[in-house]
């Protein structure tokens, strides 16, 4: 046996690494990034602010000022706090670490509707939890009879609901989520992942006091700060107290902390960018819908999911034209021939449309 076979878990050896393709020189519309930078004057001010940060010191692991600012600016209910993560990816990981009980006869279960954000099943596996995926309906709404049956069968410790969902872009019905919260009750937590909240403008955050098993997760990534890596989540004090125990004490670095504190003081700039993107989303959806043989699905996120006759061919032709989107048809048969494209600036959206039209015409 080789060193690798001796030490690495078989299920990890069998994985292929999370692949992010090279994108230099491409019109990059595959990662749901905000295309806008901060205005020049704010960037200069931020530069001064960052030059004052003590890089030689560890962060103060309570991150009090940042937590207070997030609670105040992001509509966290009175009496509720947030826990911080190095992106919400880390928070997803930490939740599975905290809930992967080893005192049970069979592993505890993470449940989610599928297709959805791939990190839920990945981190469930890494933590040794069981993953139960419940297929969405053809219109990407929750299949409630199937969800309720799966809850009964698996008694999931964690249910993840991306709201809006990625890669489908839609919001699940609020009543359905409430029914899931009530059905799960005190046998599990329901994590409403609101990564795309700036584009949906609806939230379960104000409803935290109604549901002791609700966790609301957010990130600043899709809002325009994907590079700084900061996620946060709110839940009851009892839950956060336990989750905090598995958080690496210095998981958020001082530059991220200072940057987000600064940006929160100027949040209207990012809110305005999100409003532009919502407006562009409507225009881009209308433009794509007007093309023959393109089916555009409703979106409350900063991307559009649409179906074409031959997604593989269109995707490859776009690559030849140096346009990078996501071919999500490969993820699940429900998404057969579906492509996902970011909403960007008016210029980039036009560039994409022109390239796309040329690809479907040829
Ligand atoms: C992008 C995304 C995230 C990841 O956010 P980070 O904070 O950048 O780690 C989480 N959930 C969903 C549904 C996403 O699409």
Q: What is the pLDDT of residues 36-90, one digit of tens each?
A: 999 999 999 999 999 999 999 999 989 999 999 999 999 999 999 999 999 999 9
The pTM for the full model equals 0.96
Q: Which atom of ligand 1 is nearest to the CA of 117?
A: 13
Q: How far is the CA of 231 from the centre of ligand 1 (A)?
A: 8
Find out whether the beta carbon of 168 lies less than 6 Å from any atom of ligand 1. Answer: no
- Atom of ligand 1 at shortest distance to CA of 85? 7
What was the pLDDT predicted at 361?
Answer: 80
Query: What pLDDT sits at residue 23?
Result: 83
DSSP H or E run through 199:
helix 197-200
The pLDDT value recorded for residue 100 is 97
Q: For residue 345, how far is its CA from the centre of ligand 1 (angstroms)?
A: 21
State residue 362's pLDDT score.
62
Per-residue DSSP letters for 48-91?
HHHHTS-TTSPP-TT-HHHHHHHHHHTTPPTT-EEEEESSHHHH
- Nearest alpha carbon, ligand 1 atom 2: 195
**Ligand 1 nearest atom to the CA of residue 91, by list position:** 9
Provide the pLDDT for residue 335.
Answer: 97
Closest residue to atom 14 of ligand 1, CA basis: 195
Spell out the residues 6+ positions from residue 150 whose beta carbon is closer than 8 angstroms to its own. Answer: 111, 132, 134, 156
**Which residues of the chain are modeled with pLDDT < 50?**
none
- Confirm or reject: Cβ of 256 under 6 Å from ligand 1: no
């Amino acid at each position: 046996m080789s060193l690798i076979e001796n030490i690495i878990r078989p299920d990890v050896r069998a994985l292929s690494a999370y692949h992010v393709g090279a994108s230099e020189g491409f019109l990059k519309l595959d990662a749901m990034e905000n295309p806008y930078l901060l205005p020049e004057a704010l960037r200069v001010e931020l530069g001064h602010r960052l030059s004052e940060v003590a890089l030689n010191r560890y962060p103060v692991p309570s991150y009090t000022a940042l937590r207070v600012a997030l609670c105040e600016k992001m509509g966290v209910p009175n009496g509720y706090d947030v826990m911080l993560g190095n992106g919400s990816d880390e928070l997803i990981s930490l939740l599975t670490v905290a809930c992967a009980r080893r005192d049970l006869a069979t592993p505890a279960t993470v449940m989610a509707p599928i297709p959805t954000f791939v990190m839920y099943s990945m981190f469930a596996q890494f933590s040794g939890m069981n993953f139960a995926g419940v297929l969405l309906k053809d219109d990407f709404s929750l299949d409630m009879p199937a969800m309720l049956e799966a809850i009964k069968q698996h008694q999931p410790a964690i249910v993840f609901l991306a709201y809006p969902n990625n890669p489908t872009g839609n919001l699940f019905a609020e009543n359905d989520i409430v029914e899931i919260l009530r059905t799960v009750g005190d046998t599990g937590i329901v994590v409403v992942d609101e990564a795309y909240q700036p584009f949906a403008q609806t939230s379960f955050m104000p409803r935290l006091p109604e549901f002791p098993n609700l966790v609301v997760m957010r990130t600043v990534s899709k809002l325009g700060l994907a590079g700084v890596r900061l996620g946060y989540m709110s839940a009851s004090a009892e839950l956060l107290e336990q989750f905090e125990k598995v958080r690496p004490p210095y998981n958020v670095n001082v530059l991220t902390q200072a940057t987000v504190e600064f940006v929160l003081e100027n949040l209207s700039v990012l809110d305005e960018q999100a409003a532009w993107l919502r407006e562009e989303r409507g225009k881009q959806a209308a433009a794509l819908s007007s093309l023959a043989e393109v089916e555009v699905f409703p979106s409350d996120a900063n991307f559009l999911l649409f179906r074409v006759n031959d997604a593989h061919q269109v995707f490859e032709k776009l690559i030849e034209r140096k346009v990078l989107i996501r071919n999500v048809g490969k993820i699940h048969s429900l998404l057969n021939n579906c492509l996902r494209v970011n909403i960007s600036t008016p210029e980039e959206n036009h560039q994409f449309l022109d390239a796309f039209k040329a690809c479907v015409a040829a």
